[in-house]
Amino acid sequence: MAAIELIGISKSFGAVAANRDIRLAVEKGTIHGIVGENGAGKSTLMSIIYGFYQADSGEIRVDGKPIAIRGTSEAIAAGIGMVHQHFMLIDNFTVVENVMLGAEKSAFLSSGIARVRAELKRLSKDHGLDIDPDAVVGELPVGLQQRVEILKSLYRGADILILDEPTGVLTPPEADHLFAVLRQLRDEGKTIILITHKLREILAVTDSVSVMRRGEMVATVKTAETSSAALAELMVGRRVLLSVDKAPATPRETRLSVKGLTVRDGRGVAMAKDVSFDLRAGEIVGIAGVAGNGQSELLEALAGLRGAESGRVELLGEPLDPTRAGDPAALRAKGLAHVPEDRHSMGLVLAFEENENAVLGYHREPGFSRGGFLDRAAMRRDAAEKIAAYDIRPPDARLKTANFSGGNQQKIVLAREMERGPKVLLIGQPTRGVDVGAIEFIHRRIVEMRDAGCAILLVSVELDEIRALSDRILVMFDGRIVGERGPGAEERDLGCLMAGVGTTAIEGRAA
């Protein structure tokens, strides 16, 4: 029996049809994956199920019964819960307070908190979610914050749980734990809908998978009867190259030199410790490591966003002072571009139109500014070119950036920084939240930039991405570079270095 069934669901935003006559049945007690390119309509469809949007036409059935979902409260009442890609939590509230928010059941707050705390402890134990109910959410790592979101849904009685790109912010061990939790929930009779662009995860954890393309549902298959290549072709409508095709690098002069760099975070904790390396023109140097081992702080210091405690940096042979937060605009003028790890807080202004974000940081250049005033027509022409070149959807330069999917927001940032022809490119998590077709394009563009002479420093938690793109791989553990490997490095070898096993000193370059 279907836990939830969609019949003829359609939804448009102006002239853009996000969903077209969607038909889907998700069997009770299964994990059902939904995949598709960015902008394919996955998140819109889930938002309709959860009551954020109302469909223009069609019907939703829960346990075989038609139901009208006009808001999130009606979805929750129907036993539907949703864990969003960007968590809906209040950082300075405790776990208990976040779970209670909007679901208070007692006029006496203290007795209500006691009851919720006891219930959370039970749910945590029963479902392997292991979390302190009195912990302050803002002090928890993202993996535990996600558990809070799952607990919120379970506390409110969810039998159908929707997860939107749940591993986009998780380390590999955190993702593995999440999948164990999802399997346990399935075995207990819960129904899981998993939206992800990571095909390996779909194959690892789901029972069945549906594919969306340009707002339509094009296929539903049993996971055991399909493959990554078949799903990728269904998503994109053509064959997709799942590996990176590149010739050996031909490195030239050093473009960025880092010596003894130590960087502290906002709490004063040393995150990057005595880091040294050279980055040369015509090569991609990847930094591998579990998130939280200093990669983010290192990237921010090199981009001029965070002052270092000590160390020396040279950009294109010119000494820089890394001990204070520099002027990122001055670094851009010297030929350094930066794709930040967090596109929302550092890469975009979501309330701006797409064309405004497409030139953000470069908007004072003569091509976009005249006499102190922005040339809006030039900005929109530039945006239209980037939209076409990077297949950004919907192709509307006047649309607010907040209304693009996460993957298309990422492509806006990448187009802005990559199309400037930088001499040095710092990239943090280039394909986070990006679909398989766009990943192929982004990887190809990164290699093209390398071959044109750009020096590229790549930080990614996706080990497959690091191995596929990098000409040299530096591994960080506990803030230090603990090893260097070549492009043929084995996953197990890198994994041991990332875990701090086997070495604590820089090893020689791999052949």
Residue 240 pLDDT class (50, 70, 90 cuts): low
Q: Which of 197, 214, 236 is the last residue of a domain?
A: 236
Bridge partners of 287, per DSSP, are: 459, 474
Looking at residue 437, its pLDDT comes to: 76
Has residue 506 got a pLDDT over 60? Answer: no
Task: Verify that 85 and 154 share a domain, yes or no.
Answer: yes
Q: How many angstroms separate the CA atoms of 273 and 484, rounded?
A: 16
- HEC string of 432-489 equals CCCCHHHHHHHHHHHHHHHHCCCEEEEECCCHHHHHHHCCEEEEEECCEEEEEECCCC
Task: Verify that 426 and 415 share a domain, yes or no.
Answer: no
Read off the pLDDT of residues 202-214 as tens digits, 9 standing for 90 and up: 999 999 999 998 8
Residue 461 pLDDT class (50, 70, 90 cuts): confident
Has residue 169 got a pLDDT over 80? Answer: no
Whether 249 maps to a domain, the answer reads yes
- Run of H or E residues at 178: helix 172-187
Q: Tell me the mean pLDDT in the region 1-18.
A: 92
Q: How many angstroms separate the CA atoms of 257 and 285, rounded?
A: 12
Whether 177 maps to a domain, the answer reads yes
Task: Verify that 213 and 255 share a domain, yes or no.
Answer: no
Read off the pLDDT of residues 41-60 as tens digits, 9 standing for 90 and up: 898 999 999 999 999 999 99
Has residue 351 got a pLDDT over 80? Answer: yes
Looking at residue 106, its pLDDT comes to: 47
Task: Verify that 322 and 435 share a domain, yes or no.
Answer: yes
Has residue 508 got a pLDDT over 70? Answer: no
More confident residue, 159 or 168: 159
Q: How many angstroms separate the CA atoms of 166 and 143, rounded?
A: 10
Task: Please state, as a whole number, how many other Cβ atoms lie within 10 Å of the Cβ of residue 342.
Answer: 13
Which two three-digit tokens encode residue 430?
């280039």
Residue whose pair of structure tokens reads 């010119």 in the numeric block = 318
Has residue 463 got a pLDDT over 90? Answer: no
Q: How many angstroms separate the CA atoms of 307 and 297, rounded?
A: 9
Q: What's the distance, CA 319 to chain centroid?
A: 34
Whether 340 maps to a domain, the answer reads no
Whether 415 maps to a domain, the answer reads yes
Has residue 477 got a pLDDT over 50? Answer: yes
Whether 500 maps to a domain, the answer reads yes
Read off the pLDDT of residues 409-437 as tens digits, 9 standing for 90 and up: 999 999 999 999 999 999 999 988 777 77
Specify the pTM. 0.70
Q: How far is residue 382 from each of residues 205, 409, 444, measured CA to CA in Å? A: 42, 16, 22
Residue 224 DSSP label: G
Has residue 510 got a pLDDT over 80? Answer: no
Has residue 216 got a pLDDT over 90? Answer: yes
Looking at residue 507, its pLDDT comes to: 44
Task: Verify that 470 and 405 share a domain, yes or no.
Answer: no
More confident residue, 492 or 334: 334
- Run of H or E residues at 271: strand 270-280
Has residue 509 got a pLDDT over 50? Answer: no
Q: Tell me the mean pLDDT in the region 132-145.
A: 85
Helix count and strand count (H, E) for the chain? 16, 22
C-beta of residue 322 within 8 angstroms of C-beta of residue 307: yes
Whether 59 maps to a domain, the answer reads yes
Q: Which amino acid is at 73?
A: S
Task: Verify that 223 and 257 share a domain, yes or no.
Answer: no
Q: Which of 386, 420, 454 is the last residue of a domain?
A: 420
Q: Which CATH number fits the domain that encloses residue 307? A: 3.40.50.300
Q: How many angstroms separate the CA atoms of 321 and 471, rounded?
A: 28
Complete edge-to-edge strand list for the sheet that includes strand 254-264: 270-280, 254-264, 310-315, 318-320
Which two three-digit tokens encode residue 119?
């219930």
Residue 168 pLDDT class (50, 70, 90 cuts): low
Whether 57 maps to a domain, the answer reads yes
More confident residue, 268 or 104: 268
Task: Verify that 218 and 248 share a domain, yes or no.
Answer: no
Whether 401 maps to a domain, the answer reads yes
C-beta of residue 85 within 8 angstroms of C-beta of residue 165: yes
More confident residue, 144 or 388: 388
Read off the pLDDT of residues 65-74 as tens digits, 9 standing for 90 and up: 999 999 999 9
Has residue 511 got a pLDDT over 60? Answer: no
Looking at residue 363, its pLDDT comes to: 93
Strands (E), 198-253: 208-213, 216-222
Q: How many angstroms separate the CA atoms of 487 and 469, rounded?
A: 8
Task: Verify that 292 and 153 share a domain, yes or no.
Answer: no
Has residue 505 got a pLDDT over 50? Answer: no
Q: Helices 172-187 and 142-155, interaxial angle, to 10°?
A: 20
Task: Verify that 37 and 47 share a domain, yes or no.
Answer: yes
Query: Domain residues for 469?
Result: 241-335+422-511
Looking at residue 325, its pLDDT comes to: 75
First to last CA, the chain: 57
Considering only CA atoms, which of 458, 459, 463, 457 is closest in space to residue 499?
463
| Pairing assessment for the beta strands 472-477 and 373-374 based on DSSP bridges | unpaired
Q: Which of 403, 420, 437 is the last residue of a domain?
A: 420
The percent of residues in the chain predicted with pLDDT above 90, rounded, is 59
Looking at residue 440, its pLDDT comes to: 85
Task: Verify that 427 and 414 share a domain, yes or no.
Answer: no
**Count of domains observed in the chain:** 3
Task: Verify that 375 and 501 share a domain, yes or no.
Answer: no
Task: Verify that 440 and 373 share a domain, yes or no.
Answer: no
For the ranges 27-36, 236-245, 285-294, 361-370, the lowest mean pLDDT is seen at: 236-245
